[in-house]
A and B are shown apart, each in its own frame.
Chain A
Amino acid sequence: MVVPVVRIQAHDFDVAAEIASLQQGRRDIGAIVTFSGICRDESGALEALEIEHYPGMAEAEIGRIAAQATERWPIEALVAIHRHGMIRPGENIVLVVAASRHRRAAFEAAEFLMDYLKSRAPFWKKEYRRDGTAGEWLDARDSDEEAAARWKK
């Protein structure tokens, strides 16, 4: 029975440290997939993203999605970390680490977790621009809903 690790935090995470911690004392893991979501600035106008979350539900919802992933794929370990607060371009936002014996389970579980997290985990991004103006809340994209829907069995 794999218990996923879910953390919601303001501070940054260290991808290598998370992998090392997950692997410690294990000889049965043959594949580790990591996904890092990073704050990006396509137009050169973004100062930062402010990520708001619903404390309590954010942990609970990612926990539910992660639990589904461990039921659906033979996963040996699963970690999901999501940051909140002000995040600048180039900084980390989200991390998923999935470990399994063979690669396919880890690839698929990590992708499933990210697809569901995007449309179901209670986080919202607001843009702050370099010219000092408070920007807009980002709109949810239909493509994210569709990405989650394709995992429906």
Chain B
Amino acid sequence: MTKLVYFAWVRERIGKAEEEVTLPSGVETVGDLLLWLKGRGEAYEYALQHPDVIRVAINHEHVDHRERIGGTSEIALFPPMTGG
């Protein structure tokens, strides 16, 4: 199982803050994950309609969309950050 966590408008559009999923065998990279999630229903389609703007962190570290997921425990999806 992989834990997915969502923040800001990604969380609001998907309609939940986190969930546990079993990734299908074809999902090897972050890009694959975004594409697969996008196909899980309207809410996901809405949240991830522009996958290229979605930022991703694996185990609390920023990664790009080519990163391999491997045995990751926590993957976070969120919009570009607006802190400070």
Contacts and interface: CB of A to CB of B under 8 A. Distances in A.
> Is A bound to B?
yes
A137 B79 CA distance: 10
Interface in B45-84: 57, 60-62, 76, 78-84
B82 A125 contact: yes
B4 to A, nearest CB: 13
Interface stretch (A10-18, A19-27, A47-55, A100-108): A47-55
Contacts of B80: 119, 139-140
Contact of B60 (A52, A57, A94, A138): A57
Contacts, number: 73
Interface residues of B, number: 16
11 contacts: A61-B60, A119-B81, A120-B81, A121-B81, A123-B83, A124-B82, A124-B83, A125-B83, A137-B8, A140-B79, A140-B80
B9 interface: yes
A126 B12 CA distance: 12
B57 A54 contact: yes
A140 B57 contact: no
Contacts of A82: 83-84
Interface of B: 5, 7-9, 57, 60-62, 76, 78-84
A114 B84 contact: yes
Contacts of B5: 54
B84 A93 contact: yes
B61 to A, nearest CB: 8
Contacts of A85: none
Nearest to A116: B84
Contacts of A117: 83-84
Given A61-B61, A117-B84, A140-B80, 6 more contacts: A54-B5, A57-B57, A118-B83, A122-B81, A123-B81, A124-B81
